[in-house]
Every structure is written in C-alpha cells, then in structure tokens.
Amino acid sequence: MSPFSKSLTLSGWRIFAACVRHHSSLTTELIENMDKKATWDRFYTENSSSTPTFKTFEWFFGFDSVKDFILPLLQSRSHPDALIQVLDIGCGTSGLGPSIYRHSPLPVHVTCADISPVAVQLMQAHIQAKAIPPLNLSSQLEFVELDCTQLDKHYGASSVDLIVDKGTTDALLRSKQGKGKAGLLLSQCLRVLQSSGSLLQFSDEDPDARLLWLETAARDLGAMAADVGVQEVGEMRGVCYYCYQVTPRPVV
C-alpha cells in the first residue's frame, strides 16, 4: 500500500467513525458511495429523524476551531461596492457557513452548497425557524442544492473570494472514483476563485499525502496553476487536523 493510499484509508475511517456511530446500517453504503447523492440523502434523513429537534452535524470540528483561519482572509478581501463571496462546499447540516455569516464584521454573501437536497432543506427550515442575526447587516446567507464538481453551472469564472471545504474532498477521495472526482472539484474551485482568492481544505490527511496530491492535481489542470500551503489546526480527540490553503495563479 502506498503512503497516499494508507493515509487516505486512515482518513476515511476517521470520518466513518464520527458519522456512523448511530448509523451502523449505513456503514457499507458510506464506504462505497461517499460521492453519491442518494447516500447522503439517506444519511441526513436518518440523522434528522433520530432526534426530536434539529441539530447541526459537524464533520471533524465546528467553526470555533477554524475561525482564526477564515476571518483574517475575509478581512483582506474587502470590496468597496460588493459583498465578499464565500462558498461552503459540501455543507451538509454543518453550522460552519452560518457561523461565517454571523461573525464576519465585513459584508459577506455566504452560499452553503450541498449535493443532498435533504441537507439543504433541513438547513433552510432551521434558518427560517431560528433566524441568525449577522454581525454586518448587509451580509447574506443562502443554501443551494449543487454538485460541487459542477460549480461552473452556478458561478462565473473568477467570481468567488473564499471557498471552504471541511471534509468534502476527503469524502470524494474515499469514494470509488477517488482522485478523479476530487481533481474535478479542485479544478472547478480554481476556475471560480478570483486570482487572489483562496480555497481552504480542512482535513486530517497527512501533509505528505495531501500536499503532493494538491500540487500534482493543480499542475495537471493545465490552464491554471496554484500555490499550496498548510498549517496545523490542532489535535482533537487524538487526531491531528490541517488547513490546506490553495491559491490560484495563471500559468505564465
């Protein structure tokens, strides 16, 4: 087994341990089909039906663990006449996107996108029932059903300032089609990001594996290269997490 495959397998099982503790019947389906809409529809349907009241479901950790990676980037992206465009890909029922909307001192338009209409509907109903006051009154928040390997159907080129990915790339890499779909997602992110924008990937995958894959995949895209960096988020429940920052740059 290669170092990449070993790291990916460990990363995948850490995700499974977090999400299938009370969903043992979903284990096999998640292992084999983490890239499928039907799998996540079932997961969020069962997860929501198991509790009498709505509760956000967090992959890895919540907003407080990563706010110091996100909010400073927003401070550097201020537009005089436009909202800062933030995209949370594979949002599920996480509170990450709504928390960015709530805590950003600068005006932001936060789009929380997921392939599962069940997750999107749950979040829309939650926000309608319990309104979240934004720190900046001009900020906006929306939830959309969107296959994030097809971002160009929703966004124009160079139109997004910040993309946040908390576990979505990990899920794609763990699926049967693996690196192909994850590479397509990366390609789409680089296409819709502004030249000074950033993609933040939060993952428990070791930098030796993820940095190599990001650098290679970005270079293989052809039309767009990228600068890639990593910072340690910290250790939680015995697992070390990382923030991978990818910034697009034109190929000269």
Q: Is residue 89 part of a domain?
A: yes
Supply the pLDDT for residue 9.
44
Would you say residue 63 lies in a domain? no
At residue 6, the pLDDT reads 41
Q: Can you give the pLDDT at residue 133?
A: 95
- pTM for this entry: 0.88
- When divided into structural domains, the chain yields a total of 1
Range of the domain at 214: 68-248
Higher-pLDDT residue of 86 and 178 is: 86
Residue 58 contacts residue 48 (beta carbons within 8 Å): no
The pLDDT value given to residue 1: 34
Residue 183 is assigned to a structural domain of this protein: yes
Residue 88 domain flag: yes
Q: Tokens in use for 108?
A: 């932001």
Q: Is residue 28 part of a domain?
A: no
Q: d(Cα 94, Cα 112) in Å, to the nearest integer?
A: 9
Residue 224: per-residue pLDDT: 64
Q: Supply the DSSP string of 35-92, one letter for each residue.
A: T-HHHHHHHHHHHHHTSSS-----SS--GGGTHHHHHHHHHTT--SSSPEEEEEET-T
Q: pLDDT digits over 200-224, tens only?
A: 999 999 999 999 999 888 777 665 6
Cβ neighbors of 33 (< 8 A, separation 6 or more) are: 39, 175, 176
> What is the residue type of 95?
G
Q: Does 158 fall in a domain?
A: yes
Q: What is the tens place of the pLDDT at every residue in 223-238?
A: 567 889 999 999 988 8
CATH of the domain at 130: 3.40.50.150
Q: How many CA atoms lie within 13 A of 115 on its CB side?
A: 20
How many C-beta atoms lie closer than 10 Å to residue 136's C-beta? 16
Does some domain include residue 98?
yes
The model's pLDDT over 21-68, given as tens digits with 9 standing for 90+, comes to: 554 556 666 666 787 888 888 888 888 877 778 888 888 899 999 999
Does 27 map to a domain? no
Distance CA(221)–CA(215), nearest Å, equals: 10
Tokens of 225: 């290269």
pLDDT at 81 (0 to 100): 73
The single-letter code of the amino acid at 160 is V
